Amino acid sequence: MSLTSTMHAQTQVITVNADRIDAAMAIRFKEEMRVETESAPDRVILDLTSVQFIDSSGLGAIVASMKQLGGNRRLELAGLTPVVVKVFRLTRMDTVFTLHPTLGDAIAKCAG
């Protein structure tokens, strides 16, 4: 699992550089997210453009990452592939997270 982080205005963008977030990756993903977001601003975007598959453990890791942000900080998701967005819709997690079609859309929203 490899995450990279960049800043855009007052928004932190964390990019997942892997094609899966599954049971084998979930614990490492949560730990890397915790490290990346320790001093995160109020808005964090998780770029899932490269992720082609997610299972329940991966979904749980993303939810855990959102919860560990705490306070008024929020985690938004961008660039979900059709397979990944289907998992979020089937589990109704699309009502918990703000989903953006692309990273560009998510960044543009913070500017406007």
Distances in Å between the Cα of 3 and the Cα atoms of 35, 36, 81, 86 are 10, 8, 18, 23
If one counts every other C-beta atom within 10 angstroms of the C-beta of residue 4, the result is 11
CB 59 within 8 A of CB 87: yes
Per-residue pLDDT of the chain (112 residues; tens, 9 = 90+): 689 999 988 899 999 999 999 999 999 999 999 999 998 899 999 999 999 999 999 999 999 999 999 878 999 999 999 999 999 999 999 999 999 999 999 998 865 4
pTM of the model: 0.94
Pairing mode of beta strands 11-16, 3-8: antiparallel
C-alpha to C-alpha distance for 84 and 54, rounded to whole angstroms: 6
Token readout for 88 is 């979020």
C-alpha to C-alpha distance for 112 and 101, rounded to whole angstroms: 16
pLDDT attached to residue 1: 66
| CATH number listed for the domain at residues 3-111 | 3.30.750.24
Token readout for 7 is 């800043």
